[in-house]
Amino acid sequence: MPCVRKLSIAGTVATILLVFCACTPLVNLPGKQVVEPRVEKAHYVTVDGVMLPMHTWLPQDGPVTAVIVALHGFNDYSTFFASPANYLGRHGIASYAYDQRGFGGAPGRGLWSGIGAYSSDLTFFVKEIRKRHPGVPLYVLGESMGGSVAIVAMTGSNPPDVDGVILVAPAVWGRETMPWYQRWLLAIASHTFPWVQLTGKGLHISASDNIEMLRSLGRDPLVIKATRIDSMYGLSNLMDEALAQAGKIRLPTLVQYGEKDQVIPEKPIFLMLEKMPKSTRKAFYEEGYHMLLRDLHGEKPLADIAAWIADHDKPLPYGTDKWK
């Protein structure tokens, strides 16, 4: 009987190893540098020659007093910042956003490109935008996945040259804060059928109270509706890294989070804040959902962004640093 048990255990281990070796998550890595990165009218050309769609919003009246480079969330794309940018433009703030690799109109739609690619793209993009607005304060704003990209880029070996960081509902749901079954399910699925696409139907999660905006996103062909499992795996790796590295950010930072966020749980958010410097400005919104800047009350966190950029030390008009 002991021999049978040993064989059974060995067989199980062998089966697991065979399954994990059968498939691996696909990473659509960037190519070698072939050009100098540049920003054109409607595109950002990366170092490997990839053209990423880009949007620009400039103040209509008066000079540019500050610049925001905005990074969209998972399965979203650069137009996520259209309404926020129009609001901020009335405060003299110029905004730029591009479709990150695999999202929106960028090449490799639906494929994950790796943490290094997203971080590097941000660093080079910021460098080009700096040339357009010399001497003007520049901030990187990341929403959800964009927030985790911003964290990893800012704490990497070649961080973007920015004056501060704005994290809006940052995706820092690292594996250490996930239930064990969720971690195992993702690991097994990503190494057995990584190409399978899943939707969020049946989860009953509300990303915002702005129903008309959500319906518009549902009709938008550039918003990804079904996600490859290996892209989810890549996102989880990014969130792991962002949660681990958040404490290394040393620039002025504003973190915004809605108390009704059903996408990123509060536990990883608070774990992230515990790691960050005490000088980090926290802004919680009782009526806020995950898509905080596009909620029905989106002008409140937007007003706080404008106020914080104008003066990092003054109290915010709306957000509170106390939870509930």
Q: Which one is predicted more confidently, 15 or 117? A: 117
pLDDT at 3: 38
Superfamily of segment(s) 2-310: Alpha/Beta hydrolase fold, catalytic domain (3.40.50.1820)
pLDDT at 164: 98
pLDDT at 22: 52
For 78, which DSSP code?
G
Q: How far apart, in whole angstroms, are the C-alpha atoms of residue 319 and residue 82?
A: 22
Give one DSSP letter per residue of 143-208, joined into a string.
ETHHHHHHHHHHTSSS----SEEEEES-----GGGS-HHHHHHHHHHHTT-TT-EE--TTS---S-
pLDDT at 14: 42
Q: Which one is predicted more confidently, 57 or 21? A: 57
Cross-strand partners of 320: 284
Q: Which one is predicted more confidently, 210 or 197? A: 210
Give the pLDDT mean for 113-118: 97
Give the pLDDT mean for 269-296: 97
pLDDT value at 41 more than 60 = yes
Domain range summary for the chain, segments of one domain joined by + = 2-310
Angle at 41 between CA 39 and CA 44, to 5 degrees: 35
Q: How far apart, in whole angstroms, are the C-alpha atoms of residue 306 and residue 240?
A: 30
pLDDT at 18: 42
Other beta carbons less than 10 A from residue 176's beta carbon = 12
Q: How confident is the model at residue 197 (pLDDT cuts 50, 70, 90)?
A: confident
What is the residue type of 275? K
Cross-strand partners of 253: 165
Average model confidence (pLDDT) across the chain:
92
Least confident of 4-13, 206-215, 287-296: 4-13
- Closest by Cα among 252, 269, 228 to 113: 228
pLDDT at 8: 52
Q: How far apart, in whole angstroms, are the C-alpha atoms of residue 157 and residue 175?
A: 24
pLDDT value at 17 more than 60 = no
The model's pLDDT over 148-195, given as tens digits with 9 standing for 90+, comes to 999 999 999 999 999 999 999 999 999 999 888 888 888 888 888 888
pLDDT value at 31 more than 80 = yes
Q: Is the distance from CB of 276 to CB of 285 less than 8 angstroms?
A: no
Q: How confident is the model at residue 4 (pLDDT cuts 50, 70, 90)?
A: very low
User: Cα-atom radius of gyration of the chain, to the nearest Å?
Assistant: 21
Residue written as tokens 């070698």? 32
